[in-house]
Amino acid sequence: MKKLVLTAILCAGGLLHAQNNKVFEQLDSVLIATKIPVSVKNSGKVTTTISAATLERSAGKSIAQLINEVSGIEINGSRSNDGQNLGYFIRGGRNRQVVILIDGVPLTDPSQISNDYDLRLVPSSNIEKIEIIKGASSVLYGSGAATAVISITTKKAAKDEVSATITSTVGSNRASEDSDDLSLDAFTNFVTVNGTLNRFFYNATFGNRYTDGISAVEAPENEPAFESDVFNRYNGRLNLGYHITDDITISQFISFDKFKADFDEFSYVDAENRSITEQIKTGGHFEWKYAKGTYVFNDSYTWIEREIASSFPAKYDSKSYAMDNYLTYNFSDKLTALVGLNLVFSSFNSFTIPFGETSFSQDVSEEEANFDIIDPYLNLVYQTNFGLHINAGARVNIHSVYDTNVVYNLNPSYAIDFGNTTLKFLSSYSTAYITPSLFQLYDPLYGNEELQPEEDRTIEGGIAFFTGKDFRISAVYFNRNEMNYVDFVTVDPDLFIFQYRNIDEEFETNGFEVELYKQLTEQIDFSANYTNTQADERFALRIPEHKINADLTYDIMPNTSIGVQFQFNSERTDSFFNPTTFENETITLDSYSLTDVNFSSQLSATIRVFANVSNIFNTEYEELYRFQTLGRNVRIGFTISL
């Protein structure tokens, strides 16, 4: 009964939220939607920023878990074993339709079938903020920006000559049926040393996350539990920079990331399988602020190696270089232009063990499996004195394999001020493209060099109303159309011949997102969001039609707060391979709701403590059919700043 009452209260509260400065940051200006600082009032997009305060209070949570609380987003696998593969289901899309940026550079993994970047590689401890924009954004962010752009900004160096931070978290990591066992199986540790010496600045970090205690696959009923599957990740990063003048800054970084993830067979059998992923990344940043605008240069070179130890062993390695540089110019206080050039160079190798043999053999070589992308783009931002604001742009995608592709964006908005209150109408028409991956192009069994990019069109319309910073409500309708979809098709069933091909069918997804925020009192903030997604049947797997997130935060005293988070997911469909019938079957997964409680207190200028109880009602649920999810777990930790 208590659970139903709390659920009802929080769901009702979902009619009273958006994003606040404690859960999702309210900003005076946004950058991600235009790459040009624009006030929230004048922005034609509803953007989300997960703030530093939220990241601090949520220490121990993964980035995927944090992003999964944003409207319109379902990151499947974020509530499961840490080693579980992640599905980025945003507005009915898939992983290949999401762009992930770190410090302004788009990242991919050319050895992945979908060319997507793995968020499991990224530690949350070194993140300053996460900005998210939904909808087609290829004009500014290139291939894959069809449903969302997730921009991650790492922490900056302190202004002191020497500063250090140590964060340590420990907790349980159990499924619901094992929730009474609160053994310590989850450990996250992070240390950073950084500072500024005159014009020179530096930032060195190291982190580790280790989890045990939960199996990837759930054992059949009335049978002994499967062995737990371990996840172990190490990260290190060094960034050095110099302020040449007050307006010119240059920096260079190098980082490494490695994780080992145990997993079971997808036939739902316990197994001692393991995936090992290693990444080395280096890149730089140059920024020059001149009288009429800004010039920015960001680049990153990434080397990734993955090894799969299972009944189908494989090895992959990939290399990618991404560079994005752009110049903004203010023609007047009303018109700003941005011109940019984005370059991406990718290649990969793969190795498997042929049937009947015992050693690896190369089946894809980077000498063949590589492509280059050169994208010039232009964007204009026009702001009038009477409330009309227009963001418009176009990008030319020049690809070394397929024909040239053009995308464009038109995003007008109109704001009406009533003293301290603003009513804003917004709309957009945007197109995007999704580059076929190197695997889809060059795999010797299934690849097809005749593939063309997928095309995506998004229409948005919405309204936002806000009063100062203590109340905000917005509602956005979206409609996505997918064309030229790259599908895995049967060419000859008798000879078991399959291939990736563009298909003629068009697919449509629509829905709406409601976000509100209300500062109830000086000590109490309430926020929530609701998402309705009507995905095409072909893409509806694992996507809830209805999803609610809510957060209630109470400042017990200065620097001490307690919060309650709630999430509801409606029924979803999933498919699985039946080893008895040798056919794929569809099943409906039950709806579920989860409630978390967290506590945070700044005990002194140098010591902060925090605690969290997740899934306090120990709800049993499934994200993926037959795969384990987390039950009630406790996490405690501290941060020491020196």
Distance CA 12, CA 6 (A): 10
Of the given ranges (101-105, 145-149, 335-339), which has the lowest mean pLDDT? 101-105
Position 102 pLDDT exceeds 60: yes
393 with 377: CB under 8 angstroms?
yes
> Tell me: the pLDDT tens digits for 270-280?
899 999 999 99
Share of the chain above pLDDT 70, in %: 95
Of the given ranges (21-25, 79-83, 181-185, 385-389), which has the lowest mean pLDDT? 21-25
Please tell me the predicted confidence (pLDDT) of residue 243: 96
Instruction: For tokens 């969290």, name the residue.
Output: 612
Give the amino acid at 503.
Answer: I
Predicted confidence band of residue 30 (pLDDT cuts 50, 70, 90): low
Q: Give the side-chain half-sphere CA count within 13 A for 312.
A: 6
Looking at every residue in the chain, the average pLDDT score rounds to 89
Of the given ranges (7-16, 221-230, 330-339), which has the lowest mean pLDDT? 7-16
> Tell me: the pLDDT tens digits for 138-178?
999 999 999 999 999 998 999 999 999 999 999 999 998 88
Position 552 pLDDT exceeds 60: yes
Tokens of 282: 């280096």
101 burial type by CB count under 10 A (0-12 exposed, 13-18 middle, 19+ buried): buried
Average pLDDT of the residues in 177-181: 76
Distance CA 508, CA 510 (A): 7
Predicted confidence band of residue 2 (pLDDT cuts 50, 70, 90): very low
Average pLDDT of the residues in 582-599: 90
Average pLDDT of the residues in 96-101: 92
> Tell me: the pLDDT tens digits for 510-541?
999 999 999 999 899 999 999 999 998 888 88
Helix, strand and coil in the chain, % to nearest 5: 10, 55, 35
Domain count, the chain: 1
Position 122 pLDDT exceeds 50: yes
Dihedral sign, Cα of residue 169, residue 604, residue 612, residue 593: negative
Q: Give CA torsion, residues 173, 619, 600, 239, to 10 deg.
A: 50
Please tell me the predicted confidence (pLDDT) of residue 638: 93
Please tell me the predicted confidence (pLDDT) of residue 116: 87
> Tell me: the pLDDT tens digits for 274-301?
999 999 999 999 999 999 999 999 999 9
Average pLDDT of the residues in 557-564: 90
Please tell me the predicted confidence (pLDDT) of residue 628: 92
Q: Which 3 state secondary structure label does DSSP give 362?
A: strand
Please tell me the predicted confidence (pLDDT) of residue 5: 37
For residues 542 and 497, the model is more confident at 542
- Domain CATH number, residue 425: 2.40.170.20
Average pLDDT of the residues in 313-332: 95
Q: What angle do CA 394, 436, 325 make, to 5 degrees?
A: 40
- The most confident of the ranges 5-14, 122-131, 315-324, 417-426 is 315-324
Distance linking the first and last C-alpha atoms of the chain:
46
Distance CA 6, CA 358 (A): 57
> Tell me: the pLDDT tens digits for 183-233?
899 999 999 999 999 999 999 999 999 999 999 998 888 788 889 999 999
In which domain, by residue range, is 605 found?
2-641
For residue 111, the tally of other CB atoms under 10 A from its CB is: 27
For residue 39, the tally of other CB atoms under 10 A from its CB is: 13
600 burial type by CB count under 10 A (0-12 exposed, 13-18 middle, 19+ buried): buried
